[in-house]
Chain A
């Protein structure tokens, strides 16, 4: 069951590569949040109530509901155009993300560590690297934030792969990170929208030497 969920998560990265609209990105985030809940729930079923509530909060409430709603709000409020406007054609993105997945697959097979859940590792690293690739290949600031959340999701899977016990402190760290980044970035997008016309990264390039 976990394997299926993680494979769906990886496929969602491929879908991310070819999606055209911002709202599709936001929907992919919701989907990923739900998948993360499923994975975490299956992994941690036998643990105590507190941890369960915490994971529920982290995945369903924050990742699947709050962040996508917030993104929707920002997109509507700033009248950001629906198109994602990538720098490279979608087909190239698709190829590159596929290559990323294959390479991480090979890497995890080379490592061959008994402590490591291979499929978690592959999914997490592909999410991380494709997130970084999406950031560098998309034009709008809001897509950067969305891709940052994709990276965060990858890190969440990695933390599931690593600690079956999920120390509460690290959990707290993930949550703090998500809160800090997304809400702060959201506020700035609002402000950036006041200064620039279309929340475009190209307009944020005056500071240089």
Chain B
């Protein structure tokens, strides 16, 4: 089923690329969405199956695939509103939709892949399609962001590749099948620890470009700032998840070996530095999109701390990852409306949002509560579990500074979001404000509702899948 899906997506992307008519491109996008959901349902029904050796549907893949398919609906449908009102250039539109479809396709394939090099290839394709999306506006800022994104991502993917090469040194000759994750899990306890450590360092630092952690996080920030908001919604959620998949599948392998404590130290340092950097920038930035991008960095740091702490932390980390995807993509979609109203991303020039768009302003307040992990947000549950795991795992020395940093982040986000919602901006011409269709906010409320629902009352299937995804990890 994966081959028809991949060819179908590539054909649709090609058709979107060359097509000039609005109606046809709408139809094609709807076709793609139907296909994406058909494929998702098929994979759920065939959980545990392996197709063409290189793709297998395990619990983690199912979870992330469903997340992707859910988020891709609002991202693709809101693109219409976004793209047609801004500037309707058939050429730019074709590239935009084609790249969007390719991005979703390569993310899907990367989630499902069961071979370390296949994951790498599809992550590479996400870089390619994401850069076409960042380049959408074709001005100086987007060129700079694209350039940085392509360059940093390429270098970090070379790092991942070097890591894979070191891994094959560790495997030695005649173990080509060892590049499959499952095989690697079996072989890993007997491998040379030095080469395994080298492989881990390179693979981890390489994937941080997608994951949004300290060594390579910079490119992602510019990308989320300059990409159109529906694309930024994907970048800040499902594209970060693909980095997580690449890292996590290898982490599970090394968790089987004697170097597990050492890898935990490496991840811990990167995670703490990420939260620190995110705090420092969030206190300072005045661009709302960049502020949210830094908030994603902070959440990724927390997820990594959950993995480091072990125990219930593994479960909490995955839960946090999925809930964060929904919350952050909804928030980014709302920023699109905010930008449409005020024509700026600068917090100083945005204000009194209640007056112009009531559903949007209420959403922004709710989203603030959800994204800073206050009850009833689902993120509260997962964050609470992460802290619990850290406390039990003896990471109190880390927990205290992290909590202090989180308090500063909540203060900064709260100050700015409350300002945008309630305080009138200086020198803003109210006569030119175009009203936002309140129906467009609906999908954002749904995503936010999903975060609360999955946190407070998770369905048994969801819990089982989460447990299954982390079942081989023991501490």
A residues at B contact (CB < 8 Å): 111, 113, 115-116, 128, 141, 144, 148, 151-152, 155, 158-159, 162-165, 167, 169-170, 172-174, 176-177, 180-181, 184-185, 188, 191-192, 195-196, 204-207, 209
B83 is an interface residue with CB less than 8 A from chain A:
no
Please tell me which one of the listed residues B121, B146, B154, B225 contacts residue A181 in the complex, with CB atoms under 8 A apart. Answer: B154
B173 in contact with A209 (CB, 8 Å): no
Please tell me which one of the listed residues B164, B172, B226, B290 contacts residue A170 in the complex, with CB atoms under 8 A apart. Answer: B164
B162 is an interface residue with CB less than 8 A from chain A:
yes
Assuming the contacts A155-B162, A165-B176, asked whether A207 and B226 have C-beta atoms less than 8 A apart, the reply is yes
Q: Please, how many angstroms separate the alpha-carbon atoms of A151 and B161 in the complex? A: 12
B164 in contact with A185 (CB, 8 Å): no
B119-164: which residues lie under 8 A (CB-CB) from chain A? 120-121, 124, 127-128, 131, 138, 140-141, 143-148, 150-151, 154-155, 157-158, 161-162, 164
Assuming the contacts A184-B150, A204-B144, asked whether A113 and B169 have C-beta atoms less than 8 A apart, the reply is yes
Please tell me which one of the listed residues B121, B127, B138, B157 contacts residue A172 in the complex, with CB atoms under 8 A apart. Answer: B121
Please tell me which one of the listed residues B138, B148, B164, B165 contacts residue A207 in the complex, with CB atoms under 8 A apart. Answer: B148
Q: Please, how many angstroms separate the alpha-carbon atoms of A148 and B165 in the complex? A: 18
Q: Please, how many angstroms separate the alpha-carbon atoms of A164 and B176 in the complex? A: 11
B143 in contact with A191 (CB, 8 Å): yes
Residues of A within 8 A of B169 (CB): 113, 115-116, 162
**Binary CB contact string for chain B from 300 to 325 against chain A (1 if under 8 A, 0 otherwise):** 00000000000000000000000000
Closest B residue to A191 using CB positions: B143
A188 in contact with B226 (CB, 8 Å): no
Q: Please, how many angstroms separate the alpha-carbon atoms of A140 and B226 in the complex? A: 23
Residues of A within 8 A of B131 (CB): 184
Assuming the contacts A180-B127, A192-B147, asked whether A148 and B154 have C-beta atoms less than 8 A apart, the reply is yes
Q: Which among B141, B147, B168, B194 has the highest number of chain A CB atoms within 10 Å?
A: B147
From DSSP, what is the main secondary structure of chain A's interface residues?
Answer: helix
Residues of B within 8 A of A164 (CB): 173
- Identify the 10 closest CB pairs spanning chains A and B, nearest first: A181-B154, A204-B144, A209-B285, A162-B165, A207-B222, A195-B140, A169-B117, A162-B168, A158-B165, A209-B281
CB of B293, distance to nearest CB on chain A (Å):
10
Residues of B within 8 A of A167 (CB): 117, 176, 179
Q: Please, how many angstroms separate the alpha-carbon atoms of A196 and B141 in the complex? A: 11
Q: Please, how many angstroms separate the alpha-carbon atoms of A190 and B128 in the complex? A: 17
Assuming the contacts A169-B118, A177-B124, A206-B141, asked whether A155 and B161 have C-beta atoms less than 8 A apart, the reply is yes
B284 in contact with A207 (CB, 8 Å): no
Residues of A within 8 A of B176 (CB): 165, 167
A177 in contact with B161 (CB, 8 Å): yes
Assuming the contacts A165-B176, A191-B143, A207-B226, asked whether A184 and B128 have C-beta atoms less than 8 A apart, the reply is yes
B344 is an interface residue with CB less than 8 A from chain A:
no
Q: Please, how many angstroms separate the alpha-carbon atoms of A96 and B172 in the complex? A: 33
Q: Please, how many angstroms separate the alpha-carbon atoms of A46 and B152 in the complex? A: 38
Q: Which among B138, B161, B172, B226 has the highest number of chain A CB atoms within 10 Å?
A: B161
**Binary CB contact string for chain B from 17 to 32 against chain A (1 if under 8 A, 0 otherwise):** 0000000000000000
Q: Please, how many angstroms separate the alpha-carbon atoms of A208 and B192 in the complex? A: 42
CB of B113, distance to nearest CB on chain A (Å):
11
Residues of B within 8 A of A195 (CB): 140, 143
A141 in contact with B147 (CB, 8 Å): yes
Closest A residue to B290 using CB positions: A209
Residues of A within 8 A of B225 (CB): 207
Q: Which among A162, A205, A207 has the highest number of chain B CB atoms within 10 Å?
A: A207
Q: Please, how many angstroms separate the alpha-carbon atoms of A60 and B338 in the complex? A: 52
A192 in contact with B158 (CB, 8 Å): no
Q: Please, how many angstroms separate the alpha-carbon atoms of A163 and B161 in the complex? A: 13
A207 in contact with B194 (CB, 8 Å): no
Residues of A within 8 A of B287 (CB): 209
Supply 8 A–B pairs (Cβ within 8 Å), ascending by A. Answer: A159-B165, A167-B176, A167-B179, A180-B127, A184-B128, A192-B147, A206-B144, A207-B225
Assuming the contacts A113-B169, A164-B173, A184-B128, asked whether A173 and B150 have C-beta atoms less than 8 A apart, the reply is no
A207 in contact with B144 (CB, 8 Å): yes
Q: Please, how many angstroms separate the alpha-carbon atoms of A5 and B416 in the complex? A: 60
Q: Please, how many angstroms separate the alpha-carbon atoms of A152 and B128 in the complex? A: 17
Q: Please, how many angstroms separate the alpha-carbon atoms of A195 and B222 in the complex? A: 18
CB of B335, distance to nearest CB on chain A (Å):
17
Q: Please, how many angstroms separate the alpha-carbon atoms of A159 and B157 in the complex? A: 15
Q: Please, how many angstroms separate the alpha-carbon atoms of A195 and B147 in the complex? A: 13
Please tell me which one of the listed residues A158, A180, A188 contacts residue B146 in the complex, with CB atoms under 8 A apart. Answer: A188
B222 in contact with A173 (CB, 8 Å): no
Query: With A162-B166, A169-B121, A184-B150 given, can you name 6 additional A-B contacts, CB distance below 8 Å?
Result: A148-B151, A173-B161, A177-B161, A180-B127, A204-B144, A205-B144
